[in-house]
Amino acid sequence: MKPAIPQAQTSSNKPNKPLKNEIPKMTAVLCKRCNVSEAVVKSRKEIFCKECFTKFITLKLRKMLMSKETESVFKVIYDPKNPQREKEFNPPNCKVLLPCSFGSSSLTVLHILVDYLKEQHSQHKKYGFKLEVLTLYCDEEQLIKYKAIIEKLKSMHDFQISSDFLKFTLLDVNRYFLDNNNTAVLTIGEDYATQESVSPETRNSMSLTESLQNAFPTNKLVTSKQDLLDIFTQNIIKVYYNSDPKFKQLLWGSSMTKIADQVISNVVKGRGASIAKELEFGMYPLTDVFLSEIDAYFLLHFRDTYEELLYHYVPQPTLFLNKDTEYCDIPCNEVLAKNAKTINQFAREYFDSIEGDYSNVISTVVRTALKLDTPGDLKKIDLEDNQQNQDSNVTLCRVCESPCYQDIKDTEKKSATAWLNNITVHEGYPVETDVEKGYYHQWQTSTETSSANLHKSNLDSKTVSLCYGCSVTLHTSSSKSIAWVQKKDTDETELQSVLNDYILSDNED
């Protein structure tokens, strides 16, 4: 008699175990917002599909634009009772300036703004503002690349809009610096007192790039070089913005991460006093968006063309759920040697490393910086009014044009120069050995030669003020001097005429 065969257990009681070598099937995870589409991105402990993540980023930016202070600039204004307001805040009298470095952040702001303009036109048959994209370049290689990017953008459907309402402008920084007839030499002494002089030999003799290279020739001084380059380019952007009264708003395309590393870097470089002034000028619509979120947004929309649209930057796919998708099949950014990194780049690496687990640190830095304000004594002072500055003993830094904070009652003891001089050890250790005497003699000879040349070429020098940050930066120069554009007072008509000489519009070759 054959033994009875036991019946198999039903799957409802105990499911069959997968085979040892069986690969489990990947099940699609649905977006937690729409519960319809497949999720592709995880950010802030929430998963999104492409459409919901795009809406998430877009609404954050639009929320900033629609604040009470700025909504009249970006909305289509209908005000029959006040025709003057309707005329002032509608094109062509209402323009917005967007400085663009062709990184993922500034191009994301551009993409969202163009989409917003298209939406306005579809609803109102008119636009609420004109958008001008300003890009500064320093050499021919940058110019060629920027022009290629602009042509690519204009050929893409996402950026196609009437040229009357979207304009690209390229401005030559070196030519502006080289052809300026008010270039002077700033020289800082061992006591941190700075002299400004103008002579025929230094006037119109070098470009900004050459001036920075002469002052900071080694990689060890890359932070100082980049610091002054950033100051000069930001000043040009502000001058360009103020030159046209039709500009109603200046938008900076900086993510929350970029603002945080800018704040920390300014503190490290001794520019903490200028943080409030920098953040007050213009608007930062991405203050609530991390750089990783910007990169994810950019890859979702421009994965196939990012190499043609970005300049010296590769977006990182850190937020994508599936690392095997095409979005993640991109190279990493170039890793620089430590001696070739600036303080800003070190700060950026730090924030990139903590963004996943400690993102609240980044937001805390930005929120704290945005709460900073100008000191009470300077709130009522117009920093552009030179006569008022003289009357109140408030001076502007000769390089960065930030106010030089000091005790008005005791300016000689409380200025940045005096403070630096007080904490500096001026007497060296006694020279003892023959080797030390030889080195000391070489240093003394070079110092006497440079001092003689300085006295010969700078007979008509005058003492100028530098803030703490600029004093420290200039003191790291190998020559303790730098050629810099001399500020002069010009009216708006003359200023616009000067700037037009160095502008290459998108319609020019």
Parse the chain into domains and list their residue ranges.
41-179+226-379+490-505
Q: What is the CA radius of gyration of the chain?
A: 28
The CATH topology of domain 41-179+226-379+490-505 is Rossmann fold (3.40.50)
Per-residue DSSP letter, 283:
B
Residue 24 pLDDT: 47
Exposure string over 448-460, b if 16+ CB within 10 A, otherwise e: eeeeeebeebbee
pTM score, two decimals?
A: 0.83
Distance CA 247, CA 459 (A): 42
**Farthest CA pair distance, the chain:** 124
Mean of pLDDT values over 425-445: 75
Mean of pLDDT values over 70-98: 89
299 sits in which H/E element: helix 291-302
Lowest mean pLDDT among 56-70, 185-199, 254-268: 185-199
pLDDT at 21 over 50: no
Please, which pLDDT band fits residue 52 given cuts at 50, 70 and 90?
very high
Q: Do residues 299 and 292 touch, judged by C-beta distance below 8 A?
A: no
Q: What percent of the chain has pLDDT over 70?
A: 74
For residue 24, give every residue at least 6 positions away whose Cβ sits within 8 Å of its Cβ, in sequence order, or none. 18
pLDDT at 499 over 70: no
pLDDT at 80 over 80: yes
pLDDT at 330 over 50: yes
Residue 481 pLDDT: 87
